[in-house]
Chain A
């Protein structure tokens, strides 16, 4: 049987496309109440008073909690999960993130009270009657502006709003000296704008304290139930972990925004014990816009220096990273260890220095969003590369090829050690670019581009050759870098007496198709039909432990844990088989679901062995009954997918309208289990990456209000904005995990954005500009063309 490598249709899609998915908001518990949050309309305001007396009298109101109540209960707030200290060794500034604020609101959307009623409509009506008196303060939303003296202070005890500063790479003086002496230096100052994750399912949480068992259950739209349980128990509420169950049922997309532990999760759990009834809270879309952690939001100055032959000599990058008003769970890691460490890219740059200021502002928190740090790194490098090529009159493809790291497989040749703290596992970079050039028909394109001159259209081509770090991550490494958790994964493979198999995975599927691709792995490795395999995830009472899904880690880390457990099952199964066959284990072969004595036709089927394991009448002496193994897998390294994205745009000069004519993506994600699922992940990632370039971006006004907080104004990419993607792959297996897989969830989003902007810049090269701010709207392009 060879499921691995074939495009098996997704088994989970039956329930999704027939409307039978079971999301948190679908769950109704007896006696359930509904919560509506009272949120600050102001980005920055002292709370003078909160009057709940009218609201309490409203129909159906069960209870109203304010910040006074959570303060009185001694709840400190939700913690940050990653500590990055200042360059000088000072501890990261980590002001509390209260569940309900009692002193002041620090962003529009900060929660002030939780109104609980018999129905959501009643809760909402009563929430409107909670009267909050504010003393509105000036707000700051831009991270660079927030660093200035005299800028509004988001937290009283964080001078100049600096959460921490950070640096990585070669000594700055050396890098600066190399830049100063270089033949050519390309400098870009740009904004990698804030994007809002916009998962189709809004966040939702149900807290249920069961008085019969003194046990809490939290249903929540999360990417990592066990992590939420750990944070809830160990940091926020001090609950006994064995008395808390966290379930992440079907989750309608996360893109990172559902990794984090949110205040509402803690509120419904705590509140349910106060009122001894379950509480459900589901975000309205308008709430999602202002409370889901957002992505990107960097302001960067970067320099890349070249010698006269076009060899990269040095790179420096200085970034202001907007943290928002509070440090979200993984926020400190994103602009640092997921961004700075990627600035080697695919190039042999000998000197690199990156520095980051992580800054508080009066905005919603920023944290990991599909790609998390790596899209920002790729944008920085790849915009520099194309700009440098343009400035030096070089071909952008050739300039890249010239600077690529030589191939290495991580087995015969050592992994490549970068200037910024990583060792790449395996890589062979030229083929993805060469394949991309072949697919695009590069020479023909340049001819077409020339031919278009003088017409009303401008054609442009943009490149992006990226690397990313996935399979997050070796626990000891991330521990040394400030993570407050390990990043291994667990898996239990439970063989039932009848030979059917339940697999409990600590990874969590929220659209990725684990129930299919994991089952393909299990079925192949065990030689049984896929229908005999069930993948169970997302329930802390079912799955022993797990670190969840993000950073393209599920297959590389979670899949590897499954493989480890399968190996244990087959090893024990062989002992039972040997006993039944009266042979020795060394003489047995396992294939297609049976053990055979080599060179004979004597065999025993998997199902007979599993039955024997649970009905151990005729059984090896001293062997425990049962066929059920758990494993923990901690990866030896990150995995490093890479690829080449090429975008072709056509600009209409009269209107400035830009059309993506073609998009070519050649990705190398290591071995592929299900090509259709990988293609789907790439397509979705490309849509988001292209979306950032052309459509998306949070806009704040002076007072700190999100101006485009509805779908009437916030532009999401749509199918008709995109061309039919042309994709291909090369395969460079990961040398350090048993499946040879690298991860595919974020690649599309990491590579695409700079390819698009580079294409626009290529089309506009006659207009003497070096950058255009994203999103690249037709108005911006028209202004460039018409010189205003």
Chain B
């Protein structure tokens, strides 16, 4: 369990980090909490020559409660997010999901930026950020851009992030649906990542659903929102009947992952079960 030799860099600004990325390109890797990268290095599945540790960049830390959104610095740990008062109030599923990641050590080291950059389809963040309508803030040499979360996850360990970009923040809009949101997970029994993770966020007006966002981790190689479920819910009253109708065929038409814990059929079924659990909690 010893990585190959690498040079270690610890920039203190985003600018420096991006410059290092530009210089070392393919031979380098960003390091944040290290809880996904270090195991990969130790198993020698990857052997970058340069490690650029962004954990010392102050501007990438902290959670800011703005007027219309909450900005989570990419370096925020799962633990910080789980305990953040503004998130608990405005987007409870975000704090809740954070509290369900790994164990205390993992939550105190692992970061949200690292998790979504890694883009493990079984990680908890993708479902939650999809349901939250989050934006990912990416910085590059020329400045920064914001990517809609719906455009961010591109496949197994693949994202819209460019080679010379880093994630600096995640923005969670303060919306009615985020205020009324939850996350449930059917854990893989060994890793406790999600075999199925379902995030649901719903806004109502006069008792009728105005917007429903229901997203899944763990089910498919690309985390996704289930538009059938969302469409079915929109305009109805959230109750046992509408939930049953909406979740009758969760993950239809999606290519579903399969392993010895959950083959396709069972996983699809459990996606439905967990969608019902999440929606029932909001009913």
Where the two chains meet, the residues of A that have a C-beta atom closer than 8 Å to any C-beta of B are 120-121, 124-125, 128, 284-286, 654-656, 695, 699, 707-708, 711-716, 721, 777, 779, 782-783, 788
Nearest B residue to A120 via CB reads B2
- Chain B residues whose C-beta falls within 8 Å of the C-beta of A120 in the assembled complex: 2
29 A-B pairs with C-beta separation under 8 A = A120-B2, A121-B2, A125-B4, A125-B5, A284-B1, A285-B1, A286-B1, A654-B273, A655-B270, A655-B273, A695-B190, A708-B190, A711-B190, A712-B191, A713-B190, A714-B190, A715-B189, A715-B190, A721-B189, A777-B189, A777-B261, A779-B261, A779-B262, A779-B263, A779-B266, A782-B266, A782-B269, A783-B266, A788-B265
Q: How far, in whole Å, are A655 and B261 apart by their CA atoms in the complex? A: 13
Q: Kindly supply a per-residue 1/0 record for chain B positions 1-33, scoring 1 wherever the CB is within 8 Å of any chain A CB and 0 otherwise.
A: 110110000000000000000000000000000
Q: Which 4 A-B pairs have the closest CB atoms?
A: A715-B190, A712-B191, A715-B189, A779-B266
- Chain B residues whose C-beta falls within 8 Å of the C-beta of A713 in the assembled complex: 190-191
Q: How far, in whole Å, are A783 and B262 apart by their CA atoms in the complex? A: 11
Q: Is the interface of B mostly helix, strand, loop or mixed?
A: loop
Contact A707 B260 (CB under 8 A): yes
- Chain A residues whose C-beta falls within 8 Å of the C-beta of B263 in the assembled complex: 779
Contact A655 B186 (CB under 8 A): yes
Residue B43 interfacial (CB < 8 Å): yes
Nearest A residue to B260 via CB reads A699
Closest Cβ of chain A: how far from B36's Cβ, in Å?
A: 11
Residues B158-199 near A (CB distance < 8 A): 186, 189-191
- Chain A residues whose C-beta falls within 8 Å of the C-beta of B270 in the assembled complex: 655
Query: What would 13 more interface pairs be, CB under 8 Å, given A285-B1, A655-B186, A779-B263?
Result: A128-B44, A695-B189, A695-B190, A707-B260, A708-B260, A712-B191, A713-B191, A714-B190, A715-B190, A716-B190, A779-B266, A782-B266, A788-B265
- Chain B residues whose C-beta falls within 8 Å of the C-beta of A721 in the assembled complex: 189
Closest Cβ of chain B: how far from A78's Cβ, in Å?
A: 26
Contact B5 A121 (CB under 8 A): yes
Closest Cβ of chain B: how far from A788's Cβ, in Å?
A: 7
Q: How far, in whole Å, are A226 and B154 apart by their CA atoms in the complex? A: 59
Contact B190 A712 (CB under 8 A): yes
- Chain A residues whose C-beta falls within 8 Å of the C-beta of B2 in the assembled complex: 120-121, 124
- Chain B residues whose C-beta falls within 8 Å of the C-beta of A285 in the assembled complex: 1
Q: Kindly supply a per-residue 1/0 record for chain B positions 27-69, scoring 1 wherever the CB is within 8 Å of any chain A CB and 0 otherwise.
A: 0000000000000000110000000000000000000000000
- Chain B residues whose C-beta falls within 8 Å of the C-beta of A714 in the assembled complex: 190
- Chain B residues whose C-beta falls within 8 Å of the C-beta of A128 in the assembled complex: 44
Nearest A residue to B270 via CB reads A655
Nearest A residue to B269 via CB reads A782
- Chain A residues whose C-beta falls within 8 Å of the C-beta of B260 in the assembled complex: 699, 707-708
Most buried by A among B44, B260, B265, B266: B266
Where the two chains meet, the residues of B that have a C-beta atom closer than 8 Å to any C-beta of A are 1-2, 4-5, 43-44, 186, 189-191, 260-263, 265-266, 269-270, 273
Nearest A residue to B43 via CB reads A286
Closest Cβ of chain B: how far from A413's Cβ, in Å?
A: 48
- Chain B residues whose C-beta falls within 8 Å of the C-beta of A124 in the assembled complex: 2
Nearest A residue to B272 via CB reads A654
Q: How far, in whole Å, are A656 and B270 apart by their CA atoms in the complex? A: 10
Closest Cβ of chain A: how far from B100's Cβ, in Å?
A: 13
Closest Cβ of chain A: how far from B179's Cβ, in Å?
A: 29
Nearest B residue to A783 via CB reads B266
Closest Cβ of chain B: how far from A263's Cβ, in Å?
A: 21
- Chain A residues whose C-beta falls within 8 Å of the C-beta of B261 in the assembled complex: 777, 779
Q: How far, in whole Å, are A124 and B44 apart by their CA atoms in the complex? A: 10
Nearest A residue to B190 via CB reads A715
Q: How far, in whole Å, are A656 and B266 apart by their CA atoms in the complex? A: 10
Q: How far, in whole Å, are A721 and B190 apart by their CA atoms in the complex? A: 11
Closest Cβ of chain B: how far from A390's Cβ, in Å?
A: 26
- Chain A residues whose C-beta falls within 8 Å of the C-beta of B191 in the assembled complex: 711-713
Q: How far, in whole Å, are A788 and B263 apart by their CA atoms in the complex? A: 12
Nearest B residue to A124 via CB reads B2
Q: How far, in whole Å, are A721 and B2 apart by their CA atoms in the complex? A: 32
Q: How far, in whole Å, are A665 and B1 apart by their CA atoms in the complex? A: 40
Q: How far, in whole Å, are A286 and B261 apart by their CA atoms in the complex? A: 21
Q: How far, in whole Å, are A654 and B276 apart by their CA atoms in the complex? A: 11
Q: How far, in whole Å, are A721 and B189 apart by their CA atoms in the complex? A: 9
Q: How far, in whole Å, are A715 and B273 apart by their CA atoms in the complex? A: 23
Nearest B residue to A36 via CB reads B2
- Chain B residues whose C-beta falls within 8 Å of the C-beta of A708 in the assembled complex: 190, 260
Q: How far, in whole Å, are A642 and B1 apart by their CA atoms in the complex? A: 42
Nearest A residue to B263 via CB reads A779
Q: How far, in whole Å, are A128 and B190 apart by their CA atoms in the complex? A: 29
- Chain A residues whose C-beta falls within 8 Å of the C-beta of B273 in the assembled complex: 654-655
Q: How far, in whole Å, are A6 and B11 apart by their CA atoms in the complex? A: 59
Nearest A residue to B3 via CB reads A121
Closest Cβ of chain B: how far from A39's Cβ, in Å?
A: 13
Q: How far, in whole Å, are A713 and B39 apart by their CA atoms in the complex? A: 14
Q: How far, in whole Å, are A708 and B270 apart by their CA atoms in the complex? A: 22
- Chain B residues whose C-beta falls within 8 Å of the C-beta of A656 in the assembled complex: 266
Q: How far, in whole Å, are A284 and B44 apart by their CA atoms in the complex? A: 13
Nearest A residue to B193 via CB reads A712
Q: How far, in whole Å, are A125 and B4 apart by their CA atoms in the complex? A: 7
Closest Cβ of chain B: how far from A311's Cβ, in Å?
A: 41
Closest Cβ of chain A: how far from B257's Cβ, in Å?
A: 13
Nearest B residue to A202 via CB reads B1
Q: How far, in whole Å, are A729 and B66 apart by their CA atoms in the complex? A: 62
Q: How far, in whole Å, are A707 and B189 apart by their CA atoms in the complex? A: 15
- Chain A residues whose C-beta falls within 8 Å of the C-beta of B186 in the assembled complex: 655
Nearest B residue to A654 via CB reads B273
- Chain A residues whose C-beta falls within 8 Å of the C-beta of B4 in the assembled complex: 125
Nearest A residue to B259 via CB reads A713
Closest Cβ of chain A: how far from B95's Cβ, in Å?
A: 21
Closest Cβ of chain B: how far from A714's Cβ, in Å?
A: 6
Q: How far, in whole Å, are A777 and B260 apart by their CA atoms in the complex? A: 10
Q: How far, in whole Å, are A480 and B262 apart by their CA atoms in the complex? A: 49
Q: How far, in whole Å, are A571 and B2 apart by their CA atoms in the complex? A: 58
Closest Cβ of chain A: how far from B105's Cβ, in Å?
A: 14
Nearest B residue to A287 via CB reads B1
Q: How far, in whole Å, are A656 and B5 apart by their CA atoms in the complex? A: 46
- Chain A residues whose C-beta falls within 8 Å of the C-beta of B190 in the assembled complex: 695, 708, 711-716
- Chain B residues whose C-beta falls within 8 Å of the C-beta of A783 in the assembled complex: 266
Nearest A residue to B276 via CB reads A654
Q: How far, in whole Å, are A713 and B261 apart by their CA atoms in the complex? A: 9
Nearest B residue to A712 via CB reads B191
- Chain A residues whose C-beta falls within 8 Å of the C-beta of B1 in the assembled complex: 284-286
- Chain B residues whose C-beta falls within 8 Å of the C-beta of A712 in the assembled complex: 190-191
Q: How far, in whole Å, are A515 and B48 apart by their CA atoms in the complex? A: 48
Nearest A residue to B44 via CB reads A128
Closest Cβ of chain A: how far from B71's Cβ, in Å?
A: 32
- Chain B residues whose C-beta falls within 8 Å of the C-beta of A716 in the assembled complex: 190
Closest Cβ of chain B: how far from A34's Cβ, in Å?
A: 10
Nearest A residue to B122 via CB reads A712
Q: How far, in whole Å, are A497 and B191 apart by their CA atoms in the complex? A: 57
- Chain A residues whose C-beta falls within 8 Å of the C-beta of B269 in the assembled complex: 782
Closest Cβ of chain A: how far from B114's Cβ, in Å?
A: 17
- Chain A residues whose C-beta falls within 8 Å of the C-beta of B43 in the assembled complex: 286
Q: How far, in whole Å, are A125 and B5 apart by their CA atoms in the complex? A: 9
Q: How far, in whole Å, are A715 and B259 apart by their CA atoms in the complex? A: 14
- Chain B residues whose C-beta falls within 8 Å of the C-beta of A777 in the assembled complex: 189, 261
Closest Cβ of chain A: how far from B45's Cβ, in Å?
A: 11
- Chain A residues whose C-beta falls within 8 Å of the C-beta of B265 in the assembled complex: 788
Q: How far, in whole Å, are A712 and B188 apart by their CA atoms in the complex? A: 9
Q: How far, in whole Å, are A124 and B2 apart by their CA atoms in the complex? A: 8
Closest Cβ of chain B: how far from A231's Cβ, in Å?
A: 29
Q: How far, in whole Å, are A533 and B262 apart by their CA atoms in the complex? A: 55
Closest Cβ of chain A: how far from B251's Cβ, in Å?
A: 16
Q: How far, in whole Å, are A783 and B190 apart by their CA atoms in the complex? A: 21
